[in-house]
Structure 1
Amino acid sequence: MTSIATFSYAVCAAAFALLAFLLLTRWRARPQSRVLAAACLLSALWGVTVALQAAGYPELAKWANTLGILRSAGWSAVLVLLIGNYRKEGSRLPLGLSPALVIISAAYLVFAAGTAAAIWDINSIIEGGFMPSVAARVGIAVLGMLLVEQLYRNKPVQERWAIKFACLGIGGIFAYDFYLYSDTMLFRQINPDIWAARGIVNALTVPLLAISIARSASWSIDLAVSRRVMFHSAALFGSAIYLLAMGSAGYYLRYFGGSWGTVMQVSFLFGALVLLVGILFSGTFRAWLKVFISKHFYSYNYDYREEWLRFTRTLSEHGPGLGERAIQAVAALVESPGGALWLRREGGACVPAASWHVPMPQDAEPADSPFSVFLEEREWVFDLDEYDDSPDKYDSVALPAWLRGFPRGWLVVPLILQGKLFGFVVLQQPRSKITLNWEVIDLLKIAGSQAASYLAQEDAANALMVARQFESFNRMSTFVVHDLKNLVSQLSLLTSNAEKHKDNPEFQRDMLETLDFSVQKMRLLLQKLGRSAAPEHPSPLQLDQVLRQAVAGKAAFEPRPQLDIQDAGLRVVADRERLERVVGHLIQNAIEATARDGKVAIRVERHGDAAQVSISDTGEGMSEEFIRERLFKPFESTKSAGMGIGVFESREYISELGGKLEVTSSQPGGTTFKILLPLLRVQAASIDIAA
């Protein structure tokens, strides 16, 4: 069996050495040829070492195991590089946005470190160190197979033709390792036959790799690691080194501490863990690490896609006021812990509008001050530290006294909107020192303009809301004035007829009714204008009673309207005062459009499931064009003193009740308005059905 194992691993070493030679010579122009050659050389060295170990050199066992881990790491690195940019739903996303790949890579490092520690007896204090080492190798094999699955699944169909043999070859290496070490865990010893065949199995994967490399011209291997992944990887790697060092220190404390050793070790490790958690959650440390990574690993300081998504999300999300969110969004670009916002108002001064992690300032800055003029004309990000060292760079502009006293003031970012200074943000010193180069300054400028547009949009929305409130008030006032105009017209007509009919007892009675009706209407208008006016409460009404009251209010006019109730007791749901006003307005229009010897008739009848009120006159009538284009348009009227909103209000309210207002007219011949209102019984039934 020893000679078989020696031969098996020697063949493996020769096969991978040949493939490495081809990659370094004939195939050196192939994609990722150097990484593939490195993985092949590690496999060849591993094969040679294991072959020598089987030939009678057991002292090479540790080196063989270590090279086995490095061989697995090499092929895992090849898989990661081949994954590169992976496709998801037709779009290319950077490797850094693949959570599964990040987790697999991190777990691989943990398993590899644990296996190496077991091999070199660093964790010898753990009893039965053999089985943890085998379990870790099973984990490495599983993670390797997961990487193979990620590679094949995330490649588009047209690229799988070139990559499938590499997946079969590398997947075969990891699958056989999984089989070997799973069997070892099951029987608590290595099966010599399976172990001896391992070399031949690995050698058989070389032709598969060679075929895939020959097709490698169509490999897609672009690799882009995001700053987020680099940040978390660096934090994870640093934490692992820290914990390893602290674990070693704790081991020596236990070893040399005598009877106090265990207590000292546990206390030390707990303190070290608390310190690590405190550092990882420290904003200053996180800011320093981000700046360090951007400065030393990337040509640009920012991942602009991530930064702009975060910036826009901060401005758009719900929570504190927009001013505070604007400060927070701008401050996050330079790791500033706080700041304050000034906005330009109509009075011509920039006044404090919001603050974030600093006391709310109280001082305003005039828009025509030298400092404000400098920000508007130059559109510069004002660095207070640089100003203290070289004020000439800023034209030695005089700084406001409040800015000198701003706590830990650092930058003034102007908010420019359409070439004008809309406001500015004052930021505190950053958690980690940041060099203000052209890239940072340009980003702050564009961020300031974006924040200004959001703040201006909010101001416009607030102004529009106020305008709508005034519009609502003005509309109500217009309706009130319209009602007053009708009352004045009624009283004027009453006065003009008083001289002629003052001795007529019937006219006197009608005049008193009209005056009483006018007084009631005025009281209702006063209640409307009062702040304590109650809201409308629609309730069931006897329609004929409402019409009688409306007609009684017009009894003193000529021609006197005549009421004809065909169907008594029809009930509708409405606000009594408003429905009476609508009907009264239509009757008033009919009276005014009809000569004294003419006729105005009001007819009430049932029309299917609705009550129909017809108001007819024998006046001059209206043209079809007027009805179509002007009758229901507010503020359009043919009367010299009319306001043109009575018919508009009537149609709107009738529509609110679920009814319709129809009009027919001829010239000459008169006009008929028909009000159709749903009956109470029909309304109740429809409500029950809807429920």
Structure 2
Amino acid sequence: MAATVLSLTTLVLTFGYSLYALMGRNRSLTTYALSALFFLAAALELFDSLAVRNPEDLLFWKKYSLLAEALLPPLWLLFSLTYARRSEERGISGTQQALLVLSPVFFLSAVFLPAESFFHSPDFAEERILFLGNAGFLFYIGILVYVVVSLVNLETTLFTAAKSARWKIKFEILGAGLLAALAIFYYSQVLLYRSINMSLLPVRSVVTINAVLFMLYARVKRLGRVRVSVSRQMAYRSVVIFAVGLYLLGLGLVGEGMRYFGPSTRKVLVASLAFISGMGLLLFFLSEKVRRTIEVLLHKHFYTKKYDYRTQWIQFTDRLSSSKTGEELLKAVLSGFCETFGTGGAALFQYDEERRVYTNTVVFEMQPMDTVIADGNPLVESMKSSRRIFSAKDGDAAIEASNREFLARNRISFAVPLHSNGTFEGFIAMGKLINKREEYTYEDYDLMRTFARHASSVVLNLKLSEKLSNAREMEALGKISAFVVHDLKNLVFTLSLMVDNAKEYMDNPDFQQDMLQSLDITIGKMKRLITKLRNFEEKESLNRKASDLQIIAFETVSMVNTGEVRVEARPVIAEVDVEEIQKVLLNLILNAFDATGGKGPVHVEVGENDSAFLRVRDKGCGMTEEFQRKHLFKPFTTTKGKGLGIGLYQCRQIVEAHGGHIEVSSAPGKGSVFTVTLPAFRGAECIAPEA
């Protein structure tokens, strides 16, 4: 009864999880492979249970089990090669490509070969053991090889992941690893006895249920949504290969020794071996401390140096180069320190120039720290003066007395100073040690200093980038402000002309009407300039529309409101931003007035050849050829005592934005002619400029 309940529970959970895995929105090849694996687990549970309960139909149900088992190799391999890996990092080695190509052989053999060629059981009702023929032996040995390779791939994914990503994927890998370890345990009977003991089905059910629960927990908590880059070297350095090799060797030795023990002892040994190997596998997968201890022991006893410096440097620089933002870059620096030197977290402290203290700016695998360390703190002074790395194990009475709470609460193991060009930029505080018994020597400290020099340049570059960004914002604001001030100056000049004329013509009703209209236009332009200055970060675009340049010319001249400007114009249509072209024309007219000493006359011409043009001509002082070549249209260059030197520069920017250009003809004592050429518009209807 208990076996039936266990089997039904396994069947419901595995089939249910198979459907649940497909319910997510981000379905991929990994999702389909995982769903298929659990569907096959449910099918195997069903067919094997029916075979056990109906011994007379053993070969019938086991035929279906064979078909399900035949699909395991390609699915295991696909899942292990794609799970949590970046799409561009899924490079498959030649060996695994060959395994994928050969995997259909399992299904073809299960389809075309009779079940009798795989196994037979003389007395299955009494002893639930399947004795394997040659086909069955090769079939299950092949499955065993594929599962071991898949387990190696999963272990590679787990150990290649950064520490911040590892905890997110470990539960799904643990669940898949349990299924793989179960398959290794179940099919390793082939090597030991050349048979399969189906009385172990309850064990398979229990482990499968646990695997489903691990996977379900990871899915419900939405863990595992990370992508890992796997190096090719990592695929050849696997603890799993070593562990599985030891397991199979031990299994062979146990099998040889079982000849001298009874059947009851045999069951105890097999169960104990399964439990110990399972616990060992979990230990390797989940314990950072064990992993760090193994690494240290390997380097201590098998290598002359603790670190492979070339590999460490490449990994550190690769980690930094993959960062996209400043915060990611700093966290990559901290993660590099943690991964290399075996600490559970790290924090970066930088100097706050306004408060004159060191504050925590970025953390990795630690809680943000509100601790403020003063500039004269013994810890800071020690790192400033001697560039000495502080170690909690070595101890320093003065430093520990001043920072006892900070060191104890955050379990600080090291403090690494960051110097750049003789300037102390801050320090990296490293958290608790993963392996408290690990010894740190000059080799560790030298590598810390090397990393610190690179980290210092990163911190300094980010600081300089931030200052440059602020400077560019101020430069942009200054440039916009200069343009706005120049436009305001021109508008003020038109107002001053209006006031001068009002002294003589104020009683004239026509003048009053023109003055009110000009004031209304000027006030509107001033409001728009203020809005532009307020929203200077927004990129401005031209509001182009088909307009009559003749109307624009008369409108602009009316703003000057003096009889010294003479207009010669005819209707010419061009697609322009009316307000911007008015700025250009107004600036050219005012410059012409300045060139004539404010006396005029100034001639404005509107016409059309192949293109539309606006021409402003005066008989003022003129310009030399050298001045035109070296200074004209250059920003902040002016011959006026109170000028800003950006008027003509702004004019050219506006005209070129319209797809046109400005030409100038001038000579000393003969005046100047400025011609603005604009693309002609051949369209339907034009729009007059708005007041």
TM-score range, shorter chain: 0.5 to 0.7
Q: Distance in 1 between matches of 2:450 and 2:243?
A: 35
Q: 1:538 aligns with which of 537, 543, 549?
A: 543
CA 1:293 to 1:261, structure 2 compared with 1: closer, same or farther past 3 Å?
closer
Aligned pairs (5 A) from 1:639-650 = 639-650=640-651
Q: Distance in 2 between matches of 1:508 and 1:637?
A: 35
Deviations 1:430-480 (A, max 9, x none): 323432211110110121121011011011111111111121112211112
Match of 2:434 in 1: 431
- Asked if structure 2 preserves the Cα contact closer than 8 Å seen for 1:602 and 1:614, the reply is yes
Q: Distance in 1 between matches of 2:512 and 2:270?
A: 111
User: What runs of 5+ residues in structure 2 fail to find an aligned partner?
Assistant: 1-91, 99-129, 142-230, 684-691
What secondary structure does 1:577 align onto?
Answer: helix
CA 1:268 to 1:397, structure 2 compared with 1: closer, same or farther past 3 Å?
closer
Q: Distance in 2 between matches of 1:396 and 1:486?
A: 66
- Asked if structure 1 preserves the Cα contact closer than 8 Å seen for 2:592 and 2:600, the reply is no
Q: Distance in 1 between matches of 2:258 and 2:558?
A: 106
Aligned pairs (5 A) from 1:649-660 = 649-660=650-661
Q: 2:577 aligns with which of 575, 585, 588?
A: 575
> Aligned AA for 2:558?
A
User: What runs of 5+ residues in structure 1 fail to find an aligned partner?
Assistant: 1-97, 105-124, 137-225, 683-691
Aligned pairs (5 A) from 1:292-311 = 292-311=297-316
Match of 2:218 in 1: none
Q: Percent identity?
A: 29
CA shift for structure 1 position 253: 8.8
> Aligned AA for 1:670?
G
What secondary structure does 2:676 align onto?
Answer: strand
Q: Distance in 2 between matches of 1:502 and 1:130?
A: 115
Count of matched residue pairs: 473
CA 1:605 to 1:248, structure 2 compared with 1: closer, same or farther past 3 Å?
farther
- Asked if structure 1 preserves the Cα contact closer than 8 Å seen for 2:333 and 2:455, the reply is yes
Match of 1:362 in 2: 370
Deviations 1:10-60 (A, max 9, x none): xxxxxxxxxxxxxxxxxxxxxxxxxxxxxxxxxxxxxxxxxxxxxxxxxxx
CA 1:234 to 1:102, structure 2 compared with 1: closer, same or farther past 3 Å?
farther
> Aligned AA for 2:559?
G
Match of 1:551 in 2: 557
Match of 1:623 in 2: 624
> Aligned AA for 1:399?
S
Q: Distance in 1 between matches of 2:464 and 2:233?
A: 37
Aligned pairs (5 A) from 1:64-103 = none
Match of 1:444 in 2: 448
What secondary structure does 1:302 align onto?
Answer: coil
Match of 1:612 in 2: 613
What secondary structure does 1:386 align onto?
Answer: coil
> Aligned AA for 2:586?
G
Match of 1:341 in 2: 348
Match of 2:499 in 1: 495
TM-score by length of 2: 0.60
CA 1:295 to 1:126, structure 2 compared with 1: closer, same or farther past 3 Å?
farther
Q: Distance in 2 between matches of 1:669 and 1:631?
A: 17
Q: 1:373 aligns with which of 373, 381, 387?
A: 381
CA shift for structure 1 position 236: 2.6
CA 1:257 to 1:357, structure 2 compared with 1: closer, same or farther past 3 Å?
farther
Q: Distance in 1 between matches of 2:530 and 2:335?
A: 50
Match of 2:296 in 1: 291
What secondary structure does 1:658 align onto?
Answer: coil
What secondary structure does 1:321 align onto?
Answer: helix
Q: Distance in 2 between matches of 1:363 and 1:423?
A: 14
Q: Distance in 2 between matches of 1:129 and 1:534?
A: 77
> Aligned AA for 2:520?
D
Match of 2:421 in 1: 418
Q: Distance in 1 between matches of 2:649 and 2:301?
A: 72
Q: Distance in 2 between matches of 1:334 and 1:598?
A: 81
- Asked if structure 1 preserves the Cα contact closer than 8 Å seen for 2:420 and 2:453, the reply is yes
- Asked if structure 1 preserves the Cα contact closer than 8 Å seen for 2:494 and 2:559, the reply is no
Q: Distance in 2 between matches of 1:546 and 1:370?
A: 73
CA 1:625 to 1:431, structure 2 compared with 1: closer, same or farther past 3 Å?
same
Q: 1:322 aligns with which of 314, 325, 329?
A: 329
Q: Distance in 1 between matches of 2:394 and 2:492?
A: 74
- Asked if structure 2 preserves the Cα contact closer than 8 Å seen for 1:246 and 1:272, the reply is no
- Asked if structure 1 preserves the Cα contact closer than 8 Å seen for 2:601 and 2:618, the reply is yes
> Aligned AA for 2:433?
P
- Asked if structure 2 preserves the Cα contact closer than 8 Å seen for 1:350 and 1:364, the reply is yes
CA 1:565 to 1:264, structure 2 compared with 1: closer, same or farther past 3 Å?
farther
Match of 2:339 in 1: 332
- Asked if structure 2 preserves the Cα contact closer than 8 Å seen for 1:664 and 1:673, the reply is yes
Q: Which runs of 4+ in 1 moved over 6 A?
A: 98-104, 129-133, 226-231, 250-257, 259-264
Q: Are 1:591 and 2:593 matched, yes or no?
A: yes
- Asked if structure 2 preserves the Cα contact closer than 8 Å seen for 1:254 and 1:265, the reply is no
- Asked if structure 1 preserves the Cα contact closer than 8 Å seen for 2:568 and 2:603, the reply is yes
